[in-house]
Amino acid sequence: MPSEVLKMTTEIVVSHASMTELTPEQLVDEIKAVYNVLASLEGGVILEESAEARAEAGMVKKPPIPLQDIVKAKYVVCLECGQKLKILKNHLRKAHGLMPKEYYARFGLDPKKFPLVCKDYSEQRSKIAKERGLGARGALGRKNKVGV
């Protein structure tokens, strides 16, 4: 007969999974994390650590693809799920519950070498900003804003 903690874990995870696309590994990690929190509140047995707990403990995951293939001109690859996206920051937060700092720490990446935005998109946004006069300094910047 399932315990009350297991029933609550099932309800919470099913509710979250119905609104969020999760890989099988993410689903297992979420089940373990939710169960561990509920069990610790009740004083019960705790399951094996989740991926997040291992990352916080200083364990670095090995990237599933070669590092040179992570950032390309048209896309950036998410090392958690393998998706190819233009911008990774929102995806990390919504799909994996990770902040960029946690993501970099999890895989031992240097933020300067591995941006969360693809090169083409970054250049496109930079060009738009320059056309609007953003980033200009001193009198030049004021002239562009006022239209002098």
Q: Is pLDDT above 80 for 60?
A: no
Mean pLDDT, rounded, of the chain: 80
| This prediction's pTM | 0.51
Residues 55/98, Cβ–Cβ less than 8 Å: no
* 51/114: higher pLDDT: 114
What average pLDDT does the segment 9-27 reach?
Answer: 83
The whole-number pLDDT of residue 51 equals 47
What average pLDDT does the segment 16-35 reach?
Answer: 83
Lowest mean pLDDT among 1-10, 41-50, 97-106: 41-50
Which sequence spans correspond to the domains of the chain?
Answer: 1-59, 60-148
Condensed to tens digits (0 to 9), the pLDDT of residues 124-145 reads 999 999 999 988 775 455 555 5
Percentage of the residues of the chain whose pLDDT score is greater than 70: 79
What average pLDDT does the segment 47-57 reach?
Answer: 51
Condensed to tens digits (0 to 9), the pLDDT of residues 73-122 reads 999 999 988 899 999 999 999 998 899 999 998 888 888 899 999 999 99
- 3 state SS for 27-91: HHHHHHHHHHHHHHHHCCCCCCCCHHHHHHCCCCCCCCCCHHHCECCCCEECCCCCCEECECHHH
Q: What kind of fold does domain 60-148 have according to CATH?
A: Arc Repressor Mutant, subunit A (1.10.10)
The whole-number pLDDT of residue 9 equals 87
Angstrom CA distances, 78 to 44, 55, 65, 85, stand at 35, 16, 10, 8
The whole-number pLDDT of residue 118 equals 93
